[in-house]
Structure 1
Amino acid sequence: MTLNSTFTVVVPAAGIGKRMGAAVPKQYLFIAEKTVIEHTLSNLMAHPQIAKVVVVLHPEDHYFKELNIARSPKITTVIGGDERSDSVLAGLAAVNCNETWVLVHDAARPCLHHDDLSALLQLAEHGQVGGILATPVRDTMKRGNPKHLVVKTESRDHLWHALTPQLFPLKILTSALSKAQKMQISMTDEASAIEYFGGQVKLVSGRASNIKITQHEDLLLAEFYLSQLLKEAK
């Protein structure tokens, strides 16, 4: 791998965003006249090392094809499944098998900073250990019980919030997710599958502005962060 190497990103976008309680999936809500997923994809494709994006859609998605960005030659679409792992595996199957590395990025993370993405991609220059963007935990962490009573205060030492993108060798990630699926083990992110089967995952410090939109108030915060990214790009 060289600093001029290019990569494919799988973007699982088959979720319906139940927590938002909106009329449309959260990736199709608007921020400053563009949908969340348009911001996310445009941001990814603007990075010089991103050559292709595989967008994984819900079987009944009727929104994406109406977006201008859907006609980009860099974008391929495939149909996903019920679980995140189903969708990611469908996306990985569409990646050229000759590619060594692959990225997975959440459709609802439109505020990724290119410097953080570049730092993550550097892992591909240094061997076979993949990794994820992450931020150190800053708040006091409480462990609760089913009655929402505090059981104990957890130490913040060495605790991180996992973000995306996550970068791993294509064959290793495909194998780990496939094995987990066959064993009916639920994985919350791609790194979890790598970890479960004994692989190493590097933590690459990223900006806290790389938020995942899950609540309505996140839209306003994302609009602010996107405005800052736009100012930096000028």
Structure 2
Amino acid sequence: MESVRYWAVVPAAGVGRRMNADMPKQYLDIHGKPIMVHTLERLLGFSIDKKPLLEKIVVVVDRDDEYYHRLDVSRDPRILLAEGGSERYHSVLKGLEVLVDLAAPNDWVLVHDVARPCIRRSDLGLLVGQLKDHPIGGLLGVPVTDTIKAANADGVVNKTVDRQGLWHAMTPQMFRFSMLRDALKKALDDNMPVTDEASAIEYSGSQPVMVEGHGDNIKITRGTDLALASLYIEQQSKLLEMS
């Protein structure tokens, strides 16, 4: 297979209403740094054979964002900027459009939630290593271990769902550039809302691969997640110091 390059898109146009904070959640601090900075530093620092893997990272922010340009990391030469859309998949597509004149059709794009600052570099390596020769791509996740209930609108349980084969989907989600762009365009043209990139790939008729990562790759959504992410980052730092 021909040599390919790797790019990333980080959708960061959300406002995080469930956090009940006075700023978008990606700018809340953990250990003295905004969540976004933790996330971008991990992506920028990811290397294989001592060479940074990602050519460029496109950060997609809201047009009225007043915080992004205050960050030192925003001036990193490997970071590009795009204006977000109304939904996540609009924002990701806008991020991909920035790469149209840079990325080859068969290049890889990693889409990663800005609110997942605990992504391990070992999990990034696992994702890239397992999928580098795959024709489509896939995503990080962890198998479901909890008992899953299906309930109606009133909270009344209808049934217990067989968890065999069920996964918690995470990011990064890694797909071929043109395939992902075409899949998101199709979903948009068909007015088919998709909640992640893998959903768009599935809707286009292809089958992504699940790659098992670590459960500490959490998405910060509510206030309690902030404390948990802080703990995970602290634990991961200690592990790095010991290695």
TM-score interval, normalised by the smaller of the two chains: over 0.9
> SS in structure 1 opposite 2:149?
strand
1:56 and 2:60 correspond: yes
2:184–2:200 CA contact under 8 A, matched in 1 = yes
1:103–1:168 CA contact under 8 A, matched in 2 = yes
In structure 1, the residue matched to 2:50 is none
1:110 and 2:117 correspond: yes
> SS in structure 1 opposite 2:210?
strand
* Count of aligned pairs between the two proteins: 233
1:20–1:215 CA contact under 8 A, matched in 2 = yes
1:172 and 2:176 correspond: no
* 1:189 aligned to which of 181, 192, 196: 196
In structure 2, the residue matched to 1:140 is 147
CA drift at 1:50: 2.4
Residue type matched to 2:103 in 1? C
2:13–2:61 CA contact under 8 A, matched in 1 = yes
CA drift at 1:5: 6.4
**CA deviation digits over 1:124-175, x for unaligned, max 9?**
4323130000100011100010001111111110000000000000000000
- Cα separation, 1, equivalents of 2:125 and 2:5: 11
CA drift at 1:191: 0.1
**CA deviation digits over 1:29-81, x for unaligned, max 9?**
11111011010001111101223211000010010000111111111111011
Q: Which range moves more in the overlay, 116-125 or 68-77?
A: 116-125
- Cα separation, 2, equivalents of 1:182 and 1:207: 35
From the superposition, tell whether residues 94 and 124 of structure 1 become closer, same or farther in structure 2 (CA, over 3 Å). Answer: farther
- Cα separation, 2, equivalents of 1:19 and 1:186: 21
From the superposition, tell whether residues 75 and 22 of structure 1 become closer, same or farther in structure 2 (CA, over 3 Å). Answer: same
1:200 and 2:175 correspond: no
- Cα separation, 2, equivalents of 1:123 and 1:5: 15
TM (norm. structure 1) is 0.95
Note the 1:48-87 alignment, pairs <5 A. 48=47, 49-87=53-91
CA drift at 1:233: 2.7
- Cα separation, 2, equivalents of 1:189 and 1:198: 15
Q: Which runs of 5+ in 1 are unaligned?
A: none
Q: Which runs of 5+ in 2 are unaligned?
A: 48-52
1:134–1:163 CA contact under 8 A, matched in 2 = yes
**CA deviation digits over 1:180-222, x for unaligned, max 9?**
0011000000000101111010000010000000011111111
- Cα separation, 2, equivalents of 1:182 and 1:232: 46
From the superposition, tell whether residues 58 and 218 of structure 1 become closer, same or farther in structure 2 (CA, over 3 Å). Answer: same
1:45–1:51 CA contact under 8 A, matched in 2 = no
Residue type matched to 1:117 in 2? L
Give structure 1 regions of 4+ aligned residues with deviation exceeding 6 angstroms.
none
> SS in structure 2 opposite 1:54?
strand
- Cα separation, 2, equivalents of 1:114 and 1:143: 35
2:116–2:219 CA contact under 8 A, matched in 1 = yes
1:217 and 2:224 correspond: yes
In structure 1, the residue matched to 2:28 is 29
TM (norm. structure 2) is 0.92
1:8–1:102 CA contact under 8 A, matched in 2 = yes
